[in-house]
Amino acid sequence: MEGALACPISRTRLQVPIPSFGGDAGCAAGGRRRSRRCAVVRAVQGSSSLSAARRTLSSSWDVSGAGGFSISSVSPTAPRLPRFEELDTTNMLLRQRIIFLGSQVDDVTADFLISQLLFLDAEDPTKDINLFINSPGGSVTAGMGIYDAMKLCKADVSTICLGLAASMGAFLLASGSKGKRFCMPNARVMIHQPLGTAGGKATDMGIRIREMVYHKIKLNKILSRITGKPEEQVELDTDRDNFMNAWEAKEYGLVDGVIDDGKPGLVAPIADSAPPPKTRVWDQWKIEGSRKARKNLPSEHRILENGFTGGQGNDDDRGTVQENEAPTPV
């Protein structure tokens, strides 16, 4: 048939006839085999012009072009909210300039905190960095690295104690910017001298002991400058484990304030059903009450001799029972 190119294909129930197209000089000059191939190609090209281009699983790629893969225009889509399993609380808090020391102070923790401090300070040195502390302490050298990074930052570093800040944790709590160091009402703060062990040869033990004494003197000097107390007083207070409540830590100069706005969830419940007052509800449990309660504790020498028989008595032979005991915090 001149002027037309047709492919006689037997029909089935699932097949449709391929439409014929106009003459093609290049295809007509070939043999029958080439003519059938050209007809199929032209039929596919004709059908593809009527429908959308085939796409892969990604709508951004088009495989219908002659050159293989090509990037097509991508329509803007609405931002997708992250799923619950994709949320990372550390990064979310970091966006709010909040970092958290919630473990023992070691080299890994120190490197992580130092990187966060330097990043936030480089991002905006005019905004405060909030460091929340709930740590039993740890390595002196790792803690001094965090301390130096805090002093290196141009931004103020506000420290907040939750739970416990002991040993190096208490030192970092006190090292925050003046006026921006806080304690929660149920938090505990403990300071003491550096701990360590020495073993091996006598010369090696002497080197380790001198290093421990060096850290002790240096930490006492820094705490003396922070708290405003004489270095001799700091050395006496850190000779043994010295636990403090939030108000004792404030009086000592380790923190500047106690976060206590009368919320019932922050303090012990009141006996009656009256709502908590707007002011502090811990007025009965402050430094004076803590000292009175501490008087009732027997001395270590008395416990070793007679055993612990109760809460009454002091270091004298016969103690006096207090009628109005200080309330016990919850």
Q: Is 167:138 a contact under the CB 8 Å cutoff?
A: yes
Distance of CA 56 to the CA centre of its chain: 41
HSE-up of residue 118 (Cα within 13 Å, Cβ side): 11
The yes-or-no answer on residue 301 being catalytic is: no
User: Is 135 one of the annotated active-site residues of the chain?
Assistant: no
Rounded to whole angstroms, the Cα distance separating 184 from 165 reads 11
For residue 168, which of 117, 212, 104 has the smallest C-alpha distance?
A: 104
- Pull the structure tokens for residue 191: 């300071």
Q: Report the relative pairing of strands 61-62 and 181-183 from DSSP bridges.
A: unpaired
Unique residue bearing structure tokens 């709590």: 173
Catalytic option among 35, 192, 215, 290: 192
CB 26 within 8 A of CB 15: no
Amino acid at 328: T
Segment (H or E) for 294: helix 287-295
Catalytic sites, residue numbers: 167, 192
